[in-house]
Structure 1
Amino acid sequence: MTATSLLGEIADVGRDRKRGGYSRHAFDQAEGELRTWFVERAQRLSLDVETDRNGNIWAWWGTPGPDAVVTGSHLDSVPGGGAFDGPLGVVSALDAVEILQAKGFRPGKPFAVVVFAEEEGGRFGVPCLGSRLLTGTIDADKARALKDPDGITFAEASAKAGHDPERFGADPEALGRIGRFLELHVEQGRGLIDLGSPVAVGDTVIAHGRWRFSFSGQGNHAGATLIGDRHDPMLPAAAVVGAARRVAKATGDGRATVGRLVPTPGGTNVIASTVDLWLDARVPGGDRTRALVAELSALAKEAAAEEGCLVEIAEESYSDTVTFDAKLRDDLGKWLGGAPELPTGAGHDAGILAGFVPAGMLYVRNPTGVSHAPEEFAEAEDVDHGARALATVLEHMST
């Protein structure tokens, strides 16, 4: 089976009829179907499958052990996301194993394909939960208490899916097995279009994070309340939405996005009592991301005070600038005949693991340049080229 045909097997799972694209979230029905599919596919390759204490699935080729070569990605998506973000890395890893097995190769080191849980944060708000829990970079109690839009906690959802949330937390044994980690991913931008290359090697990940701005005012009647008598939290929230674009643009290379805004109670003829919005901010270099958020936070407080409202600002996640392992990066380029290097503004499990083990990334060309949307795409020829490239480098890494 090729990577393209494997993607075809899961093409109907988790389709979002309202948004378009796919909605596959941690421990929901669609993601559960994909997890079952992965286990069955891995077992057909005679891989031994286990699920760790944090809900990450490991498929071992041979006996698990230290200094393992590990590859993989995730199966969940953002709401209404594309078909490739996450699953491409998983199906390419399975295809790479099949390619290597077909030529009679056997790894000289322990080898595993991993599927990380809740990479996108599409249900519980914090990205890379599986790898963050594994590495201990998120507190287990904080993770257990995270809630989805329906008020279901991460602990409740995971327990319903058959996991024990009391076991969540740092897993030094699983982490200690990883010798080097490599993640293949569809490119989330236009770099490979401009370079005319089907595959690139990851260089850096821009510092990025998510912040929640909670504005509170006075809910009231939209028709009976005079403008001068209002304390409407929607106004300072709207000010932050507009300012995010202006402040990011002023940095020259920053990104700031409000992709989710929730007014309560949410009636058409009701002045909101509270408005929550989530800011995603990313700026290359040092503390510039936090500086951007600090500027927006000051503006939010000023706008809230002007309207007679209050605002609370909470950091929900943050990842500093990641530079992937230089030796592995150079080796990947050499083994792939001089493949170009690319930075990215997108976060990945490889970026979390890079703080603990040598980690790297491969990107596959996306001719639309669009990601986190239904238009995300990769040509079949490039998908299969990426899987063959992954097989090539994994053979070198595992020898």
Structure 2
Amino acid sequence: MRINIHRLLMDIDRYAAYGKNEYGGVTRPSFSPADHEVRQLFIEEITEMGMQVTIDGAANIWGRYKGAGKKEGSIVIGSHLDSVPNGGKYDGPLGVLMAKEIVKSLIESNIRLDHDIEIVSFTAEESNDFNLSTFGSRSFVGRITAEMVEGARDLKGARLSDELIKVNGGLDKFGMMKNMHSEKKAFIELHIEQGQRLENANISMAVINSVVGTYRSTVRVLGQSNHSGTTMMNDRKDALTAASEMILAVERYCSDKGNVVGTVGKLTVSPNAANIIPGQIDFILEVRAEKSETIQETVEAIQEVWREIATRREVEIQQEVFLNQKPEVLDQDVVTCLVETAKEMNEPCLILPSMAVHDAAHMASVTKSAMVFVKSIDGKSHCPEEYSHPDDIEKAGNLILHGIINLDHILSEY
């Protein structure tokens, strides 16, 4: 039994039309009109397949294909349907649409597993204006509470609680999610790698056994705004030049470490005028690594350099941590099952950590969770050029298809 790769590719292209922009990419942030449309399409299609649909408080969409009833609970496969601005068509939708294709393959082969099979599309996995990425999975496992959502607003002032109601979620349904935990016996997420490790090894897929931790803080550099013409260079307290040196210090430190990455990807300059020395800079520091100790050591080393820069340039640095997500070790039983399935299929696969945080990392707190990565051409992601070859996608899909069949047989043994 194999997935229908041609049908899957048609699905991917069809879904990519929702939010397609003039640059050839997909702009489909959660709660946008395009997101509303694609959510409705997905619900209609899995309903037509005979699946039982549930929408929880975080507006995650669950579709259930009943099993033979021999074992309680469900094996879940899925990912997310939202996209970054001008993103690609594979990041997220590949995992959701592959889940749909796998269930179709089981239905066409008249196969019902001992467990139920569920597919899920998590809400707002990507970074968004509510500053709550991986929102759906974090809410589902209890890491985001109704109280945290209540005051959340986007840049236009829209309330997240109102947006959830528009897509059949809502704070009044948050309590139901905890009650759903016990029935989820395992979760597997397919995702493009978004890097070049598989391509460099010339291997189609990898089983993911851990997800890096992520630290993010807002940083404010306070200097002194002044006239750009009349203030001599030695008399300046330029916040931008200080921030520039601080950002380069992040790059320099992390470049010397093989297992950590550091990024400043968002920057605001004030007052942002050609004839005024910048007096205030706001940016976000991000550090990712496989171990919490590595993240802490990196942040402390960077801050030590920053203190020296602040003293020398006579600026003030203010910081506030808003994310300190610990690394997540995924389930070894499911990882082993997937690796053994790849051997049975005579398909090579690597075992790798994920350098990006995905929904599977949060699901690991409530069930056995693992991931499969498929090779990304040139490592490109979050851009229109994002691409994975159909042959590689097919191999990864068949791995999950046969992997859940094997997992269904042995899950009660763990």
Q: Is this a same-fold pair by TM over 0.5?
A: yes
- The match for 2:123 is 117
Alignment of 1:379 with 2:383, yes or no, is no
- The match for 1:348 is 358
Query: TM-score, normalised on structure 1?
Result: 0.89
Which residue of 12, 16, 41 corresponds with 2:17? 12
Q: Compared with structure 1, are the counterparts of its residues 270 and 80 closer, same or farther at alpha carbon in structure 2 (3 Å cutoff)?
A: farther
CA distance in structure 2 between the partners assigned to 1:11 and 1:41 by the alignment: 16
Q: How big is the alpha-carbon RMSD for the aligned residues of Structure 1 and Structure 2?
A: 2.7
Shift of 1:149: 4.3
- 1:227-306 counterparts in 2 under 5 A? 227=233, 230-306=236-312
Structure 2 unpaired stretches of 5+: 410-414
CA distance in structure 2 between the partners assigned to 1:283 and 1:143 by the alignment: 28
Alignment of 1:320 with 2:326, yes or no, is yes
- Conserved in 2, the CA contact under 8 Å of 1:54 and 1:169? no
Q: Compared with structure 1, are the counterparts of its residues 197 and 251 closer, same or farther at alpha carbon in structure 2 (3 Å cutoff)?
A: closer
- The match for 1:138 is 144
Q: Compared with structure 1, are the counterparts of its residues 245 and 39 closer, same or farther at alpha carbon in structure 2 (3 Å cutoff)?
A: same
**Structure number with bigger Rg:** 2
Deviations 1:29-79 (A, max 9, x none): 222222122112211211121210112111111389953111100112233
In structure 1, the residue corresponding to 2:200 is in which secondary structure?
helix
In structure 2, the residue corresponding to 1:393 is in which secondary structure?
helix
CA distance in structure 2 between the partners assigned to 1:258 and 1:314 by the alignment: 15
In structure 2, the residue corresponding to 1:108 is in which secondary structure?
coil
- Conserved in 2, the CA contact under 8 Å of 1:66 and 1:176? no
- The match for 1:205 is 211
- The match for 2:335 is 329
Alignment of 1:38 with 2:42, yes or no, is yes
Structure 1 unpaired stretches of 5+: none
Equivalent position amino acid for 1:124 in 2: F
Which residue of 158, 161, 166 corresponds with 2:164? 158
- Conserved in 1, the CA contact under 8 Å of 2:243 and 2:281? yes
Moved more, 204-213 or 358-367: 204-213
Moved more, 385-394 or 177-186: 385-394
Equivalent position amino acid for 2:387 in 1: F
Equivalent position amino acid for 1:80 in 2: N
CA distance in structure 1 between the partners assigned to 2:115 and 2:300 by the alignment: 47
Equivalent position amino acid for 1:27 in 2: F
CA distance in structure 2 between the partners assigned to 1:127 and 1:59 by the alignment: 23
CA distance in structure 2 between the partners assigned to 1:249 and 1:315 by the alignment: 23
- The match for 1:58 is 62
Q: Compared with structure 1, are the counterparts of its residues 357 and 229 closer, same or farther at alpha carbon in structure 2 (3 Å cutoff)?
A: same
- The match for 2:398 is 388
- Conserved in 2, the CA contact under 8 Å of 1:3 and 1:387? no
Moved more, 128-137 or 159-168: 159-168
Which residue of 92, 111, 136 corresponds with 1:86? 92
CA distance in structure 2 between the partners assigned to 1:357 and 1:310 by the alignment: 45
Shift of 1:368: 1.9
Equivalent position amino acid for 1:378 in 2: S
- Conserved in 1, the CA contact under 8 Å of 2:289 and 2:327? no
Q: Compared with structure 1, are the counterparts of its residues 59 and 271 closer, same or farther at alpha carbon in structure 2 (3 Å cutoff)?
A: farther
Shift of 1:241: 1.5
Between Structure 1 and Structure 2, how many residues are aligned? 398
